[in-house]
Every structure is written in structure tokens, then in C-alpha cells.
A and B are shown apart, each in its own frame.
Chain A
Amino acid sequence: MLNAKKNNVKKGQSNITDFLIAVLTFIGVFIIFITLSDRSQKDAFQASSVNELTLKGIEITESFLGSKGIPPDWESNPSTVQSIGLVEDQNNLNLAKVIAFTSIDYNLSKIKIGLPQNVNYLFEISDLNGNVLYKSGKKPDSFNKVFPFSRLAILNNTAVQLRLILYE
């Protein structure tokens, strides 16, 4: 009888210890899960913003090197431009369009190329040795992310490098 009582006490203790371990493990795993899912959400948000700006940069450089712009002779009156294109034909830059784009007001150019308010850009055309020939835009004092896009084009029958850097 006494033995049975002793056993009961032990059984109760082991059950409580078991229960405590289970609860602590559950809380631990739950905290890990919450932390990871929060981190995943932040990562997903950052990734979507990265993807958005990557696509934006690709879209802008494609428009620069793949079209004359709208209207096609926008360089004669840059303030009326609807879409900026810098070439005569695929990847063959038109000097007048390049000069018009690099002289256009920075804020207006940002609107015309469709950049959000919080994103700044720096545009450069340089030869293959890295000497800058034309430049516009600005590098902000502080930024979180940088997205450089580098393309190749022809200017006056010579290969040049076109660089667009987006700062967020």
C-alpha cells in the first residue's frame, strides 16, 4: 500500500516535469517560429523592393537603348517629352538626344523616366577605358541600396558604356 502511494507521488512529479519540458519546448519553438516568420516577411518585403527597382532599371535602360522616345524628335523640345529614348536605332545613340537628356532638369527627368520620389539616379556615358563623356543626375548624400546598370552602346561609331545607377 505504502509502495503504491510512493509510486503515485513519483508519477505525479514526472508528469509535471514532462509537462514543464513540453511547455518550455513549445514556447521555445514558437518564439523561433515567430522570429523566423517575421524575418521572412522583412526579407520578402526587401526582395520585392529590390525586384521592383531591378525591373525599373532594366526598363529605363531598355527604353534609352531601344527607342527614339515619344515624340521621336523630343530633343528639339525636351519639356514636352513623354517617354525618353536616346537612340537612332537599337543601341546606336543619337548625340542630340544624349545632350538633351543630360541637360534636362533633374526633377523633370526623374518624372519622365518614372522614378519614385525616394529614388535618385546618376547617368553616365563613358568610353571603354572609363573616361566619362556625358553625365547627369546626382548621387545622394545618404542611401540604403545601390542598383548599378551597365549597358553597351555606339556613339559616333565608337563603343561606349552607358551606366545608370539608382539609389534608394
Chain B
Amino acid sequence: MSDIIRKSKKFRIKNGFVFSIDALLAISIMLILLGLMSFYSIRIYPETFPLANLQLKTNDILILLDKLGYFSQGNSQAIFQFVNKSLENGIEWHMTIEYYTSIINGTNVSFVLNKTIDIGTNSTKFSNSVSATRIFTIINSTNVSYYGRVKLISGYKNS
């Protein structure tokens, strides 16, 4: 009889131990999930604001460079200074300008890449970035001499 009680006691202790680990695991998983839930609910929204602002400014820079004739001059130093002055400190950028000449052969039009200008920092170093693209034409004495495509990527420094 005492043997049976001893065996069942042993069994109960082991049983209890298994249940405790189970409960501890469940509680820790739940606490981790609750922690993650609160962490993400706080972080998601406010971070969208600076990027939205940067996107608008990046678009504006391309419009201004085009309208003020920077692309037709093709002076990379002047473009570099203008973009640097327009963006706040702590923002890195990279710009690629491609100039194409067109060849018209009957009804076929093909574009040949004439030159490319690369200015700014390597865009892989940005942590959060936005980009804008613009197509422009350069007209010299009533003839279109170049078609161009420009892409500007701007973003925050990767810390």
C-alpha cells in the first residue's frame, strides 16, 4: 500500500513539474507577444511624416532644376551645389542624369544614350530613402537636341 502511495506521489511531483514548465512557457510567449504588440503600435505611424516631406522636396528639386535650366547646361558642379543647398543637413542624395539623342528613321524613332552624369553619395548607404524621376527635353534653336531622364534618390544617413 505504502509502495503504491510513494509511486503515485513521485508521479504527481513529476507531473506538477511538467505543468509548471508548460505554464511558464505559455506566459513568457504571451508576454513577448504583448510586448511586440505595444512596440509596433507605438512605432509605425510617426515615422511616415519625415519621409512624406522628403518625397515632396525631392520632386520639387527636379522641377526647379529643369525649369531653371540646370539640365540644359549640364554643369554637374552647379547641380551638386543647388541640391546640397536645397536639402537639409543629414540628408544624403544621389542623382543620375541621362542624355539621349534621337534617331528618326522613317516612322521608327530610337534613342541613343549620349552621356550620363552621376552626382552625390552612393545610394546604398541610405537607411530610409525616397526617389523621384523626371523626363526633360533640351531645345536649341527650335530643334530638340536632347531628351533626358533624371532620377534623384534622397535619404537619411545610414547610422
Question: Which residues on A are within 8 Å of B, measured CB to CB?
Answer: 3-4, 7, 14, 25, 29, 32-33, 36, 39-40, 43-44, 46-47, 50-51, 54, 58, 61-62, 65, 90-92, 128, 147-154, 157, 159, 161
In B70-121, which residues have CB < 8 Å from any A CB? 82, 85-86, 88
Question: Do most interface residues of chain A lie in helix, strand or loop, or is the interface mixed?
Answer: helix
B73 to chain A, nearest CB (A): 15
B107 to chain A, nearest CB (A): 32
Which of the candidate stretches B59-67, B135-143, B147-155 sits at the interface with the other chain?
B59-67
A52 to chain B, nearest CB (A): 11
With contact pairs A25-B27, A29-B27, A51-B45 given, residues A150 and B64 touching in the complex (Cβ less than 8 Å) = no
Residue in B9, B45, B60, B82 whose Cβ sees the most chain A Cβ within 10 Å: B60
State whether B46 touches A149 (Cβ < 8 A): no
Question: Do most interface residues of chain B lie in helix, strand or loop, or is the interface mixed?
Answer: helix
A117 to chain B, nearest CB (A): 22
State whether A7 touches B9 (Cβ < 8 A): yes
- Apart from A39-B42, A51-B48, A128-B85, list 5 A-B contacts with CB within 8 A: A32-B31, A47-B46, A54-B52, A152-B64, A159-B68
Closest to A51 in B: B45
- Residue-wise interface mask of B (37-63) relative to A, using a CB-CB cutoff of 8 A (1 in contact, 0 not): 110011011101100110011001101
Number of B residues, CB within 8 Å of A: 32
A-B contact pairs, 7 of them (CB 8 A): A29-B27, A33-B34, A47-B44, A54-B49, A91-B60, A151-B57, A159-B82
B58 to chain A, nearest CB (A): 10
Question: Which residues on B are within 8 Å of A, measured CB to CB?
Answer: 2, 5, 9, 16, 23, 27, 30-31, 34, 37-38, 41-42, 44-46, 48-49, 52-53, 56-57, 60-61, 63-64, 67-68, 82, 85-86, 88
State whether B5 touches A149 (Cβ < 8 A): no
Q: Which residues in A have their C-beta under 8 angstroms from that of B16?
A: 14
Which residue of the partner chain, among A36, A40, A147, A159, contacts B86 with CB atoms under 8 Å?
A159
State whether A47 touches B45 (Cβ < 8 A): yes
CB-based closest 5 A-B pairs: A47-B45, A152-B60, A40-B41, A36-B38, A91-B63
In the docked arrangement, what's the CA distance between A79 and B86, Å?
34
State whether A36 touches B82 (Cβ < 8 A): no
With contact pairs A54-B49, A58-B52 given, residues A32 and B86 touching in the complex (Cβ less than 8 Å) = no
